[in-house]
Structure 1
Amino acid sequence: MDEKLPSLKDVIACYDLAPKKSLGQHFLLNPSVLEKIVTTAGDLSEYSVIEVGPGPGGLSRVICEKGCRHFYLIEKDDRAIEGLSLLEKHFKTPLTILAKDALEVSAHTLGDSPRKLISNLPYNVSVPLFLRWLEHIQDFDLLVLMFQKEVALRLKAKPSTPDYGRLSVITQLVADVELLFDLPPGAFSPPPKVVSSIIRVRPKKKPPTIDFNSFEKLTAAAFGQRRKMLRSSLKSLMKNPEELLEKAGIEPTSRAEELTPQDFFNFYQHWRLS
């Protein structure tokens, strides 16, 4: 670092970075919390590291301080780009700033493998982004992400519990998820109305092969009317759900919330071969 960086609050003031509700922005500025989040990702030195929605660059600074092979920052908010460019002048870590919507970027292709992705996700696009990354989870070594706590609980939820649903099934089929710690609203500027959770996601060593588009359609039909028996809820997707359920060893009177991710995969295989 050549000289002292302006504080995050000074960057926000200088570049008129008042958080925008439309972008789901809630900035995390506490240095110890930022350090704690990045530390959970382990050693970064040999990795391509990706961050989505860096805003004023709180996490970004810690990542640059620790160093990595190459750092990619994806930021949709044009106001933040000039402030993030300060990092290039103050740190030796090679970095690339992409002024783009993260939903339009194939994050799994950035840099060379191995890759780690570390982000405090904008609340309004967190689930769509995460599903995109799950589809290519084998291209990442690790993801450390911040979600609303209610979303984080869905990722880890077990069958026959209120939080269990489509997101639980898809996530647990291809990845292992750890809930690390919570962050209260007061940790952010401005404070959100919800508690946030930091999670760590690792790809399974031998995940089943699925076509994500088809599998999402299956889980959408199954959970779309979750109180209905599967023999009824799946009729919107296939002609003979009862027969296929029996072939997969699943009671046709079962409800979606009773099936494990593996049950869903077994049924998916029978459906795709029918």
Structure 2
Amino acid sequence: MLIRLLRTSMRPYRTQLAGVVVLQLISVIAMLYLPTLNADIIDKGVTKGDIGYIWSTGGWMLLVTAIQIIAQACSVYLGAQAAMGAGRDMRAALLHRVGTFSAREVGVFGAPSLITRNTNDVGQVQLLVLMSATILVMAPIMCIGGIFMALRESMQLSWLLLIAVPALALSMGFIISRMVPGFRRMQDRIDAVNRVLREQITGIRVVRAFVRERQETFRFGVANSELTEQSLYVGKYMALMFPMVMLISNVTTVGVIWFGGHSIDNGDMQIGTLTAMLAYIMQILMAVMMASFLAMMA
């Protein structure tokens, strides 16, 4: 259902999406090239005292950084343009479709559910499109490119990726598997709050006439408490996600520094290579985390 919806709603914005892919590719390539330039500055400039090489390579780094920033900014702009346009079209299509419903069909869905679909649900899809334009394209390129560049820098430390990447993927998969059912239940709770609030607003005169303020306040409090409880359940797992990523990232960093330090001491590796490996491993782990987050949103 989601894929069919996105295929239909994103068809008018194929030009923007093609631009997003091209710009994200340029941005990620520039991002992956920067640690190599930094390693060259350390190994060929700082250690040898070559000030001219430091200045020239530093200028290249500034140029590559400027290209990366411009490409990323333009990519986000085009992605936001496509996402906002798709959201506008979806809301208009939903409103037109609901306008053709009979009274029985409206009763089957319920007015609160129809309101939630046209506001919160469309907003979720809109956010998914925007995040896909900025993350879905970038994450696999960064992950594959980071692995390639890490192998290119040092085969000796690349075995750490065989431990860190699966560990991060498994931990993210476990957390997401707990969060997704919670998000589904949270949508039902949002429907319940909308239903109670709509009934109270439309029937406010009846409530006052029969002095039902206390009962209606209690009724809304129950629906609100259920939504709060479900949001806290999801929030606890979401709060666990980033510390887990940081734990795996920091343990991997310690491993790279530990084994890389021994290699430098033995003369098998240069300091610049170690710094580049650290940067590439962080980029790979961040790509895995972003892809996991996007899967959770979908």
- The TM-score, its normalising length taken from structure 2, stands at 0.24
- The TM-score, its normalising length taken from structure 1, stands at 0.25
**Higher alpha-carbon Rg:** 2
Q: Higher relative contact order by CA 8 Å / sep ≥ 6: 1 or 2?
A: 2
